[in-house]
Chains A and B, each alone.
Chain A
Amino acid sequence: MSFAKGGATFTRYRITEEPVGGITEDFIAERLTANAFVDIEETSEESSVGWVQFFNHLNSTFPLQVWSFSELAVFTLRSDERKLPNKILNRYLAIAVARFTEETGRAPNSVKKKELKDALRHDLLRRSLLDTSLLEVIWLTKINEIWLGAAGEKNRALFEEAWLRTFGLGLKILVPITIGLEILKKPLQDRLMELSDTTIFGLSGH
């Protein structure tokens, strides 16, 4: 499921500020490139978050023709993560400690034990599988609106952090109250702000 195929799901935001010099194609491309996804497949890094192309999640370069279509800027936030459960690390550590003790005739001290643990963590992380998540983003440049192709607090937080780090521009999430304030004019805006939660349709409604 994505914006391009299947049933789409999205969260809407409005950009609330402009960079010095305005939002240009150069600005977007330069920021995307500076915050592009870095592959950690062959490393022991635990996580990597950055931008990849909308239609090719293996490519993190941004020539104009792959992200700028009509009045849309499109790209994907890729997050790769590998997890090493403590239980597994401790099991391997116990084996390593036993082997060290057998070979040297003495138990490892705390410094040696940490050294063994760090080496094991590095080795096990490099061998563990990556968990990849992809968040599609569509920027409607003409109306300064952003669509995040996902819902849920965790996805929103991941995107919002990456957005601020990349573009440094404030965003307003478009939900009933913020949409309402955009639609209405004064004095209805003021009345909307004063409106409180009441039991409106029920037996005691007003």
Chain B
Amino acid sequence: MALDKFVDYVQLWQEKIFLGEEFLTWLWLCSEVDNNFVTQKGDNYEVWFENSLRLESGQGPTKRSVTCQNSNKDGSFEWAEAFTAVKMNKKVINARLRVRFEEREWSLTLPSDTLSPKSIKLLAGVDFKDENDAMATQAGTLIDRVVYFMELTQIIETLLGMFLKIRLSPDWAKEELPRLKGWISRWTGNED
């Protein structure tokens, strides 16, 4: 069986690989600007970017990467190096983040190329009940975990949808981009 059933999507994926980078960069900046809240239609999604961000610019031989640590626990200038990297045209390609929606909370690593969650941990709102039957316990736990992972993928899709709608609207250039660039400039100390 030929693998050409995948090829069209793989080619499109490679052509639009920048979408995930733009999305993760936007999500990180929004979480910084709006005190870790991303809101849509009355739903509040809390998003924290933790520990380290990997940013990149260029492709092939011109590719340049930097990993920025968030080591300052008091919250001041914690991402100064990352803000500077963004200003130098780098975009976020990998991030460790926490996401909270209603009573549930997840910790995960999100790569920009696939937005496939990695190393997911369920931090809150999870209750796995033990049962006597070994198989029932295994299957029951699996089903519960899949439900929580589905909720997480739905949240990622919701956040991506929010980004794409604003990215493709006239408000992007008129409002969103100036708002985010203004925030970057405040931290890097240079006004455009």
Residues in A with CB closer than 8 Å to B168 are: 184, 188, 191-192, 195
Minimum distance in angstroms from A75 CB to a CB of chain B: 12
Complexed CA–CA distance, A54 and B135 (Å): 11
Chain B: interface secondary structure?
Answer: helix
Query: For window 1-60 of chain B, which residues contact chain A by CB distance below 8 Å?
Result: 1-3, 5-6, 9-10, 12-13, 15-16, 18-20, 22-23, 25, 29
B149 in complex: contacting residue of A8, A203, A205, CB < 8 Å: A8
Minimum distance in angstroms from A1 CB to a CB of chain B: 8
Stretch at the interface among B62-70, B73-81, B112-120: B112-120
Complexed CA–CA distance, A16 and B140 (Å): 29
Residues in B with CB closer than 8 Å to A147 are: 149
A12-32: contact bitstring with B at CB < 8 Å (1 yes, 0 no)?
Answer: 100010000000000000000
Q: Residues on A close to B: CB < 8 A?
A: 1, 3-5, 7-12, 16, 54-55, 65, 69-70, 72, 74, 138, 140, 147, 151, 160-161, 164-165, 168, 170-180, 183-184, 188, 191-192, 195, 197, 199-206
Minimum distance in angstroms from B142 CB to a CB of chain A: 5
Complexed CA–CA distance, A104 and B57 (Å): 67
Q: Is B157 engaged at the interface, CB distance under 8 Å to the other chain?
A: yes
Q: Residues on B close to A: CB < 8 A?
A: 1-3, 5-6, 9-10, 12-13, 15-16, 18-20, 22-23, 25, 29, 86-91, 111-121, 135, 138-139, 141-143, 145-146, 149-150, 153, 157, 160-161, 164-165, 167-168, 173, 177, 180-181, 184, 192
Minimum distance in angstroms from A149 CB to a CB of chain B: 10
Query: Would you list 30 pairs from A and B whose C-beta atoms are within 8 A, ordered by A residue?
Result: A3-B142, A3-B145, A3-B146, A4-B138, A5-B141, A7-B118, A7-B119, A8-B149, A11-B114, A12-B116, A69-B142, A69-B143, A70-B143, A140-B150, A164-B5, A168-B1, A170-B6, A173-B10, A176-B20, A178-B9, A178-B13, A184-B168, A201-B89, A201-B177, A201-B184, A202-B86, A203-B88, A205-B89, A205-B177, A206-B173
Closest residue of chain B to A202, judged by CB?
Answer: B89
Contact in complex: B153, A180 (CB < 8 Å)? no
Complexed CA–CA distance, A174 and B160 (Å): 12
Closest residue of chain B to A196, judged by CB?
Answer: B18
Residues in A with CB closer than 8 Å to B89 are: 199, 201-205
Closest residue of chain B to A182, judged by CB?
Answer: B157
Minimum distance in angstroms from A143 CB to a CB of chain B: 9
A177 in complex: contacting residue of B12, B118, B181, CB < 8 Å: B12
Residues in A with CB closer than 8 Å to B138 are: 4, 55
Contact in complex: A188, B145 (CB < 8 Å)? no
